[in-house]
């Protein structure tokens, strides 16, 4: 909704927002509507993932890298990237292959959604602690300024390696669950790169498994990154 505002400037929430509030929430019988100054589709998707949503339908957003299903004819349809399906207008669509393709896509995860996933484990009552690791894009490395990182990974291979690591961690005594997620694409300084979450009965078991997960991910998962820095651009493997 980039061509008009969502809230009314005549309502209290609109007035407070226009006065400089960082966030306003309207509580009504129908539910809660929150308006935030954090802009962008990524922020919206993060909020949906954090709240536990399994799927998100994004209407529009033609110029993003998100997987797309094109309905009908579009004047700029040939310029849209990452198209899964093109469906004819006003037709009896067979949605089964569309649903299958969507389910086969990589999950969109956040740290909060991973924690929620761990808490849904049937064995969670045995958990006494949860440890998390978040890798971020470092901006300053001994005076060299990183402007952006561009990550590439072999989707199925990278995911299989990470699941194998998590499976080994779960087999350790006292470890109840372990999950990890690696982002890819262009990431700016300060952005999250990788999440690892370990739930265990005791902190000693958790810390040990968390450290092992970090080191094995860096050593064994096939991820390449292109560093765009103040000193130039170059590709790096297994040093993130």
- Please report the pLDDT score of residue 65 as a whole number: 83
**pLDDT given for residue 226 in this prediction:** 92
- How high is the pLDDT of residue 137? 96
State residue 168 phi and psi, 5-degree precision.
-65, -40
27-42: per-residue pLDDT in tens? 989 998 888 887 788 8
**Overall pTM > 0.85:** no
Q: Which two tokens stand for residue 20?
A: 């400089």
Beta bridge partners of 225: 151, 236
pLDDT for residue 163: 95
Residues 136, 141, 147, 151: is their CA dihedral positive or negative? negative
CB-neighbour burial class of residue 224 (10 A; exposed 0-12, middle 13-18, buried 19+): middle
Cβ atoms of residues 178 and 212 within 8 Å: no
Topology (CATH level 3) of domain 111-237: Aldehyde Oxidoreductase; domain 3 (3.90.1170)
Could you give the CA distance from residue 187 to residue 192 in angstroms, rounded to a whole number?
Answer: 8
Q: How far apart are CA 24 and CA 29, in angstroms?
A: 17
Distance between CA atoms of residues 200 and 64, nearest Å: 38
**End-to-end C-alpha distance for the chain, whole angstroms:** 37
* Average pLDDT per consecutive 10 residues, the chain (240 residues; last block may be shorter): 78 91 90 84 90 88 86 71 86 87 88 95 97 96 93 83 97 97 92 97 98 95 90 71
The answer to whether residues 197 and 114 touch, using CB atoms and an 8 Å cutoff, is: yes
For the chain, the structural domain boundaries read 57-107, 111-237
Residue 76 has a pLDDT of: 59
């Amino acid at each position: 909704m980039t061509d008009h505002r969502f809230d009314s400037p005549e309502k209290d929430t609109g007035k407070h927002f226009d006065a400089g509030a960082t966030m306003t929430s309207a509580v009504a019988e129908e539910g809660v509507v929150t308006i935030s100054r954090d802009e962008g589709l990524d922020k919206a998707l993060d909020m949906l993932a954090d709240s536990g949503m399994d799927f998100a339908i994004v209407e529009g957003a033609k110029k993003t890298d998100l997987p797309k299903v094109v309905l009908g004819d579009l004047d700029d349809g040939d310029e849209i990237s990452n198209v899964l399906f093109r469906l004819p207008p006003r037709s009896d669509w067979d949605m089964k292959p569309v649903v299958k393709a969507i389910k086969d896509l990589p999950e969109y995860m956040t740290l909060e959604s991973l924690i929620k996933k761990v808490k849904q484990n049937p064995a969670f009552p045995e958990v006494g602690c949860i440890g998390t690791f978040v890798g971020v894009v470092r901006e300053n490395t001994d005076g060299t300024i990183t402007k952006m990182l561009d990550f590439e990974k072999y989707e199925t291979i990278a995911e299989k390696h990470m699941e194998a690591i998590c499976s080994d961690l779960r087999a350790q005594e006292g470890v109840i669950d372990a999950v990890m997620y690696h982002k890819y694409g262009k990431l700016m300084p300060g952005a999250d790169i990788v999440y690892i979450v370990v739930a265990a009965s005791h902190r000693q078991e958790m810390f040990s498994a968390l450290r092992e997960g970090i080191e094995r991910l860096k050593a064994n998962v096939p991820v390449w990154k292109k560093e765009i820095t103040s000193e130039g651009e170059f590709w790096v493997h297994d040093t993130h």
